[in-house]
Structure 1
Amino acid sequence: MSRSRALLAATAAAASVCALALVPTSASATVSGDVVVNEVYGGGGNSGATLTNDFIELHNNGSTAVDLSTWSVQYISAAPGATTTWQVTALTGSIAPGGSYLVQEAAGTAGTQALPTPDATGAINMSGTNGTVALVNSQTALTCKTAADCAADTTVHDLVGYGTAVVHEGTADAPAASNTTSVSRDANSTDTDQNGTDFSAGTPSPVNSGSASASPSASASASASASASASASASPTATAGTVRIHDIQGTTWISPLNGQTVSNVPGIVTGVRASGSTKGFWIQDPNPDSNPATSEGVFVYTGSAPTVAVGDSVLVSAKVSDYYTLASGTTTANTSNLSVTELSAPTVITLSTGNALPAAIVLGPDTVPSTYAPDLGGGNIESTPITPTRSALDYYESIEGMRVEVDDARVVGPSDSYGEQYVTTKPTEKVTYRGGTELTAENATPSGRLEVVADNGTNPEVSVGDTFTGATIGTIDYSTYGGYLIAATSLGTVKSGGIAPVAAKAGSAKDLSIATYNVENLAPQNADSKFAALAQGVVTNLAKPDIIALEEIQDNTGATDDGTVAADQTIAKLTTAIVAAGGPQYSYRSIDPVNDQDGGQPGGNIRVVYLFNADRVSFVDTGAASVNRSTTGTQVYKLHGEPALTLSPGRVDPSSYAWTSSRKPLVGEFSFKGKPVFVIANHFDAKLGDQNADGRYQYPQQTSALQRTAQAQILHDFVQQILAIDKKSDVVVLGDLNDYQFSPSLTQLRTGTGDGTGKSILTDLISTLPVNEQYTYDYEGISEVLDHILVTSGVSKPVYQVVHVNSEFANQTSDHDPQEVQFKP
């Protein structure tokens, strides 16, 4: 996988506004406004105990759910010595606002009563009287052993030392516990970072996330809600407050009322999300103001299945919050996503049911501005006023939470496993020859492209070129991965666009055929069906190329990080499947990477590999077998007046900083009908870490481009060395270069200068196709180029084809499309 989404896909997440937000970290010396250690009991199973297990209970004092999937609770003895270490229990899932979370620890031999069903389970045997428990926003064991050091550790979110513990918060420990008593906070879970006053000893009272009494504040909220509902029934004269939705949304990206509590905000329920991690509903004011910059809709986050229905007229009292939808591993501080204004911890009064809904805004070809995002020199768009005519981002922010409609919407990005797909509101905008929408320049995201997700979880499994005929209607939301979307309450009827997988035209027997294919983390543990589909693609769609450069071949144990680097089993399983599909018995050449040094999925040790049909082409093996080719680079030298390699197969400058945590190029010399052909297979650094093109910083920083440009320079210089010996040499540079045909890195590769002023020594074959065919990948509804085949001028009359078999389809074998070149050396 090549884009940032590839890594994130490992974390199942709804592509909708994510009130399940991670919260910025805090040191133990800072009062925790959200999750705290609420109760600690270390006497479980001890003599005289009723409970069989030790436990740690957490409580969320905040108004938003907190993702705990990368967090832990940790324990250290009261007086740690030089060899004492923290014991760690990893957490999973999340903790709801006002909710509790129970961590079960070690059991003793006594006790008669099991804990409530725990939310996480560990095996820490805590002291019943004295010790320290920390809540940590990582799963790495702490190293601090003094109160001062732990207070300075920014991964410590909360901490309680009880009894005579050396490590504690504040001036004193919490009281000592016993086999029959725990230490716990007061009924409001107050945290002042003074363990001595925040905690008291008492009867253990473990509460898990599913308990009705999970939280005093949650119970109070539920009671208030019930009371409000009762009052609505008894008092039909309940009246709206003074604040309206457009006051909450305001003319700024962050609500002018952010953090404040609002009362009896009126609205009509326009959509309900009763499943997933972000349960809630949308309301819209049927009486809008006259300002086009202020939205009339807003999401109400409930955290549980809402009891309202579409068409209800309601009054909502809640806290106004601007949330940043966060993917795994990000926090509010480091995400480049835009914020979403929501109402949280609501109480709801239903005034009436069955009301007409506000009319949906029809998104036609001219509704959304033609500019997707403004150029702010990298500045934060959230610091500027919302200007609906300036850009698509501005426009969608101005109608955030409101009902919209797209008629006869053509699909430009296929359905994924989460039921996410992309359509265009501009049917004639940069159309590809198969119905997608194309990226044709840097920072030129097509402004008509818009994500659609059915709010009931339906996956329509559409492909590029299909159409949702009729009306697709829903509310404007923002994706976990960034970008505005329609949370659709209804989808149009699917009409197939009829695209079929492309089959390459086979070359003549006199031509050499070379292909490149990113096979997406291929490992022996993958289903046999994936190997069969890849094999069928090689045989049928690529017409049995003579040479194939494969990217993302994993080692024999796949993502298991056990030190294995060999990939012979992965390769054998694929070549066997190719034979079974009617293809040739391919031979291969590869160089195993140094363990965990080439990036990609942790433990997978992805690398590039050559397959070749030895009946058609031979591989020129050079260099001593004893050389460590993983770390020793091949060199170009003159042999009998012709260029040759000291190592074939070899790697190009593998020790350079440019290849840090990235795949090293694999170069090999082949011989076809007695003529040498140099092939350099690549998988450049991915776009991980770049700012979101759909986010707040515009234009976004592409920090990964620096490494790709350095990689491109090394390859350019290597090709130049071959051409310096024979300017007519046949050199093919190919693979997943993770960048566009117009990018600085591809310019650097072709010319040796990022501005293109140097002489081009390579032709990027994707640029020889008609503009509407220049793509190899579909990323979030944008047809773009990541995979390339470049050739030197010695390659005469190349026939080049992109073979679309994956990226445009709902059911994919890989996320990349292969491509092929045929020529006569």
Structure 2
Amino acid sequence: MAYSRARRRIVAAALPLAVITAMVGLPGTANALSTDVVISGVYGGGGNNLAVFKNDYIELANLSDSPVSVAGWSVQYASAAGAVFQMTNLTGSIPAHGKYLVQQAAGAGGTVALPTPDATGSVPMSATSGVVALVTAQIPLVGCGITCSTAPNVKDLVGYGATANVETLAAPGLTNTTADARSGAMIDTDNNSVDFTSGVPKATNSAGTTVSAGDPGDPGDPTPGTVRIHDIQGTGRISPIVGTSVTNVPGIVTAVRTTGSARGYWFQDPTADADPLSSEGIFVFTGTTTPAVVAGDSVLATGRVTEFRPATGAQSLTEIGGPVNTIKLTSGNPLPAPVPVVFPDAYTKTGSLEAQPLEPNSYVLDWLETHEGMRISIDQATRLVSPVNTQFGELWVTLKPGQNPTPRGGTIYKSYDDQNSGRLMIASLIGAPAANVGSTLAAGTAGPLDYQSFGGYALMATQLGTITEGGLKKQMVLPPKKAGDLSVATYNVENLAATNPDSKFAKLAQAVVSNLGSPDILALEEIQDNNGATDNGVVAADQTIAKFIAAIQAAGGPTYDWRSINPNNDTDGGEPGGNIRQVFLFNPARTTFVDRPGGDANTAVQVVRARPTSNQVSLSVSPGRIDPTSDAWPSSRKPLVGEFLYDGNKQLFVVANHFNSKGGDYPLSAAVQPPVRSSEVQRQKQAAEVNEFISDLNTKSAGRARAIVLGDLNDYQFSPAVQTLTGNGTVLKTLIDTLPADQRYSYIFDGNSQVLDHIAVSPAIKGYSYGVVHINAEFSDQASDHDPQIVRILTGCDVDPLPTRCLPGSPVVDVP
């Protein structure tokens, strides 16, 4: 696969690699980042003047997927300057992704009780500055001075206010009306100042009961504050008041996200200001807590203004986060009228977008930014340029139907400079029916505008226009016309493992037989080891391959034989534990595999002359791998090379590839334009390795060697990597370039029909027919996210001029 389809809020994606690495194999000390239990909240103003809560509290959170026992643990408190800790013992456990509440001393005031505590102490905590430690023992901390965060048995520590006993820097000081709570997605960076923000006290126990000092009905002040949503959004991409707390911001709830770890609600000020550059809508992020509001509620929101950047290089989404308090005033209010989407011609300007003024009438990305968080609508019929992902309710449409259309209804991606400015992502909050590329979405889709990890801006639909299926048909390949023809195909089967359901094998197998016409040689990418993503040292894939071959037989295909090389464990990238690799399937009734022993994960295949002056060449090992120990291949698949014979004793060399993915590249909607393509560096190295091998083959054979280089190259036909691979067309010819420009695609991402898979041939292959077989990328019921490709080497074409049947053409036809 080219891109990981991780959802919006993946905590590790926002962390530097060094931090992620540090989170593995944690000892029980606070200076090692915790992935299970952390202190999530502290409050010391209970019962004091103006306080709502009667008691102080300490709240813990379990960040893991399993319950964690805290029996025998304790929480301990010391004053800001003190060295004496007071201890409260803990019992029981914390549910997976749950909370645990420790109630402390009561004051004389306050009107609201905490939720039923899970542990009770009598420690009077400071309402301004202090230190709280989570300890995996019930022994008081003594003698650790201002370095208690690294003391034995200390699991986590937070110093707040004017204290030096902290993790890196202190969390904000408290007041009688504010508590410190761990921010956003509960990331533990071992820096109290970063990890905690102050806000309205809110406590949750292990039963999931939450009470807030500002809940509706509590004595929170229902008076709107002075800050409005357009003040927060400002007239640029970054809020002019980012990092500050805002109180009782008014607006009407327009939509609610109730699932996942990015829950919250969008709300909008129905009274717009006069500035068209300042958005009137914003998202209120509540984390894993489902907000107790519905569309049409008039609310006051209190929290901290943040800029959430969902992926490296992405633009940021202005939000209200961090402990959030919402006061509901009234219900059933009319929603603000949506703004019809009207895109300018150009997609984006260049340079740092955040440093430049917004020009919504000139650039699509600027138009979208000025409407971030607001209700927008599509008031015209549009065409789907991606299939509907029914799992997430996602689809892409084009608002410019004449912009680079494919014959089958998509939008072709033809260069780095043409991002297709008519594309818009819709992520339906009410689900979406299955539909294929070319289907029609009627007018009437509306909802707030969000910013997502990969697709960038997305209309979060609360109402979806009717989708009418366009009748797109899957394609097929006609069988060879002559016995001497040889068909060779490439197919990325998307993490196929023996543990997958039989239905996936059956669907892929039926495509091999019915749509690809049972190719004589089939190069497969993403074949996983026998137990799939289970990471237990297994690297063999014989069970996976045998199951696939049996499924092809059951579908009416031939009994394929196969060759491959097992990778070293956890070295070739892909899904962790999956050990993906390339595999040759071949029909022994149509072609012969030439076995030459000695190939393994670490041995480099070489081109060998029969004699020093001979043009007859062979492989040193077959199957073999191209330079597997080179620095081009870390965490990536190594090319698989095989030697075949067909049509008598004609020799054919096949190189099956799966270059490294585009993971790490900036999205098309990146904050800096043009987007950084960091993954391209490694692919160019990989392309150079394969080019060198083919060049050696051509040189030693005096240009007579027939070679096919194919597979998932994870790059476009116009990319530097593909140009390096082919030597700008002098060493190999990429067959995708023989198709009409509007048909050059095998994959769809972000609504762009694009090329990632390739077949290239050496000059010695003169007569062929070639095509992309569209059976997956455009369809909701896809068996893989890639379309296969096929080339048929035509017999009797080693003459000049070429006979008519040897001229380039396509064996691919539409299914009747």
> If the length of structure 1 is used for normalisation, what is the TM-score?
0.75
Of 388, 391, 410, the match for 2:383: 410
Name the structure 2 match of 1:362: 340
1:476 paired with 2:454, answer no
1:293 paired with 2:277, answer yes
- The CA deviation at 1:465 is 1.2
Q: Give secondary structure in 2 for the equivalent of 1:717.
A: helix
Of 361, 376, 392, the match for 1:389: 361
Q: Give secondary structure in 2 for the equivalent of 1:404.
A: strand
Sort the Cα spacing of 1:665 and 1:148 in 2 relative to 1 into closer, same or farther, 3 A.
farther
Q: How does 1:357-756 map to 2 (within 5 A)?
A: 357-363=335-341, 367-376=342-351, 380-406=352-378, 407-416=380-389, 417-456=391-430, 458-508=431-481, 509-622=483-596, 625=597, 627-639=598-610, 640-673=614-647, 674-724=649-699, 725-751=701-727, 756=728
For residues 408 and 686 of structure 2, the distance between their equivalents in structure 1, rounded to whole angstroms, comes to 33
| Cα deviation digits, residues 411-447 of structure 1 (max 9, x gap) | 1122222222111222221111111112111253222
For residues 664 and 149 of structure 1, the distance between their equivalents in structure 2, rounded to whole angstroms, comes to 49
Query: Percent of aligned positions with the same letter in both sequences?
Result: 43
For residues 659 and 20 of structure 1, the distance between their equivalents in structure 2, rounded to whole angstroms, comes to 24
| Cα deviation digits, residues 100-152 of structure 1 (max 9, x gap) | 589xxxxxxxxxx9979xxxxxxx995332579xxxxxxxxxxxx99979769
Q: Give secondary structure in 2 for the equivalent of 1:534.
A: helix
- The CA deviation at 1:320 is 4.2
Name the structure 2 match of 1:259: 243
Sort the Cα spacing of 1:362 and 1:75 in 2 relative to 1 into closer, same or farther, 3 A.
same
Name the structure 2 match of 1:176: none
| Cα deviation digits, residues 732-781 of structure 1 (max 9, x gap) | 10000010000000000111xxxx4xx62211111111111100001122
For residues 512 and 609 of structure 1, the distance between their equivalents in structure 2, rounded to whole angstroms, comes to 18
Check the 8 A contact 1:268/1:283 in 2, yes or no.
yes
Name the structure 2 match of 1:47: none
Sort the Cα spacing of 1:692 and 1:38 in 2 relative to 1 into closer, same or farther, 3 A.
closer
| Cα deviation digits, residues 206-227 of structure 1 (max 9, x gap) | 9645443x5xxx521326x644
- Compare 352-361 and 701-710 and name the one that shifted more: 352-361
For residues 190 and 449 of structure 1, the distance between their equivalents in structure 2, rounded to whole angstroms, comes to 40
Check the 8 A contact 1:633/1:653 in 2, yes or no.
yes
Check the 8 A contact 1:523/1:554 in 2, yes or no.
yes
Sort the Cα spacing of 1:581 and 1:551 in 2 relative to 1 into closer, same or farther, 3 A.
same
Sort the Cα spacing of 1:722 and 1:705 in 2 relative to 1 into closer, same or farther, 3 A.
same
- The CA deviation at 1:402 is 1.3
* Equivalent AA in structure 1 for residue 565 of structure 2: I
Sort the Cα spacing of 1:792 and 1:126 in 2 relative to 1 into closer, same or farther, 3 A.
same
For residues 361 and 527 of structure 1, the distance between their equivalents in structure 2, rounded to whole angstroms, comes to 45
Check the 8 A contact 1:316/1:346 in 2, yes or no.
no
Check the 8 A contact 1:325/1:479 in 2, yes or no.
no
For residues 21 and 559 of structure 1, the distance between their equivalents in structure 2, rounded to whole angstroms, comes to 20
- The CA deviation at 1:244 is 2.7
1:2 paired with 2:13, answer no
1:128 paired with 2:106, answer no
| Cα deviation digits, residues 540-590 of structure 1 (max 9, x gap) | 000110000001111112212222221111111000110110000001111
1:220 paired with 2:213, answer yes
For residues 490 and 705 of structure 1, the distance between their equivalents in structure 2, rounded to whole angstroms, comes to 39
For residues 667 and 522 of structure 2, the distance between their equivalents in structure 1, rounded to whole angstroms, comes to 33
Name the structure 2 match of 1:110: none
Check the 8 A contact 2:41/2:179 in 1, yes or no.
no
Sort the Cα spacing of 1:589 and 1:149 in 2 relative to 1 into closer, same or farther, 3 A.
farther
- The CA deviation at 1:351 is 5.4
Name the structure 1 match of 2:302: 318
Q: Give secondary structure in 2 for the equivalent of 1:521.
A: strand
Sort the Cα spacing of 1:812 and 1:194 in 2 relative to 1 into closer, same or farther, 3 A.
closer
* Equivalent AA in structure 2 for residue 629 of structure 1: D
1:761 paired with 2:731, answer yes
Q: Give secondary structure in 2 for the equivalent of 1:503.
A: strand
Sort the Cα spacing of 1:650 and 1:309 in 2 relative to 1 into closer, same or farther, 3 A.
closer
For residues 321 and 412 of structure 1, the distance between their equivalents in structure 2, rounded to whole angstroms, comes to 35
For residues 823 and 768 of structure 1, the distance between their equivalents in structure 2, rounded to whole angstroms, comes to 15
* Equivalent AA in structure 1 for residue 514 of structure 2: T
Check the 8 A contact 2:486/2:646 in 1, yes or no.
yes
Name the structure 1 match of 2:263: 279
- The CA deviation at 1:467 is 1.6
| Cα deviation digits, residues 234-286 of structure 1 (max 9, x gap) | xxxx6x54433222211121111223333444433333334444333322233
Q: Compare relative contact order (CA 8 Å, sep 6+) and give the higher one, 1 or 2.
A: 1
For residues 513 and 364 of structure 2, the distance between their equivalents in structure 1, rounded to whole angstroms, comes to 43
For residues 666 and 91 of structure 1, the distance between their equivalents in structure 2, rounded to whole angstroms, comes to 49
Q: How does 1:81-160 map to 2 (within 5 A)?
A: 100=100, 126-129=136-139, 158-159=156-157
Q: Give secondary structure in 2 for the equivalent of 1:507.
A: coil
For residues 41 and 349 of structure 2, the distance between their equivalents in structure 1, rounded to whole angstroms, comes to 50
Sort the Cα spacing of 1:728 and 1:157 in 2 relative to 1 into closer, same or farther, 3 A.
farther
* Equivalent AA in structure 2 for residue 37 of structure 1: I
Check the 8 A contact 2:232/2:305 in 1, yes or no.
no
Structure 2: gaps of 5 or more residues: 23-28, 43-56, 75-91, 103-115, 120-133, 160-164, 169-176, 183-189, 193-202, 796-816
For residues 521 and 93 of structure 2, the distance between their equivalents in structure 1, rounded to whole angstroms, comes to 46
- The CA deviation at 1:325 is 5.0
Check the 8 A contact 1:336/1:692 in 2, yes or no.
yes
Name the structure 1 match of 2:172: none
For residues 576 and 167 of structure 2, the distance between their equivalents in structure 1, rounded to whole angstroms, comes to 40
For residues 19 and 721 of structure 1, the distance between their equivalents in structure 2, rounded to whole angstroms, comes to 46
For residues 782 and 670 of structure 1, the distance between their equivalents in structure 2, rounded to whole angstroms, comes to 36
- The CA deviation at 1:816 is 0.9
* Equivalent AA in structure 1 for residue 157 of structure 2: L
Q: Give secondary structure in 1 for the equivalent of 2:477.
A: coil
Sort the Cα spacing of 1:76 and 1:723 in 2 relative to 1 into closer, same or farther, 3 A.
farther
- The CA deviation at 1:455 is 1.7
Check the 8 A contact 2:214/2:326 in 1, yes or no.
no
Q: How does 1:238-253 map to 2 (within 5 A)?
A: 240-253=224-237
- The CA deviation at 1:524 is 0.5
Check the 8 A contact 1:555/1:604 in 2, yes or no.
yes
Count of aligned positions: 685
* Equivalent AA in structure 1 for residue 2 of structure 2: S
For residues 194 and 558 of structure 1, the distance between their equivalents in structure 2, rounded to whole angstroms, comes to 38
Check the 8 A contact 2:705/2:762 in 1, yes or no.
yes
Check the 8 A contact 1:369/1:391 in 2, yes or no.
yes
Check the 8 A contact 1:410/1:466 in 2, yes or no.
yes
> If the length of structure 2 is used for normalisation, what is the TM-score?
0.75
Q: Give secondary structure in 2 for the equivalent of 1:413.
A: coil
- Compare 793-802 and 812-821 and name the one that shifted more: 793-802
| Cα deviation digits, residues 300-323 of structure 1 (max 9, x gap) | 3455444444344x3524234224
Name the structure 2 match of 1:37: 39
Sort the Cα spacing of 1:75 and 1:685 in 2 relative to 1 into closer, same or farther, 3 A.
farther
Structure 1: gaps of 5 or more residues: 41-55, 61-65, 79-88, 103-112, 117-123, 133-144, 162-167, 172-185, 196-205, 233-237, 328-334
Sort the Cα spacing of 1:587 and 1:484 in 2 relative to 1 into closer, same or farther, 3 A.
same
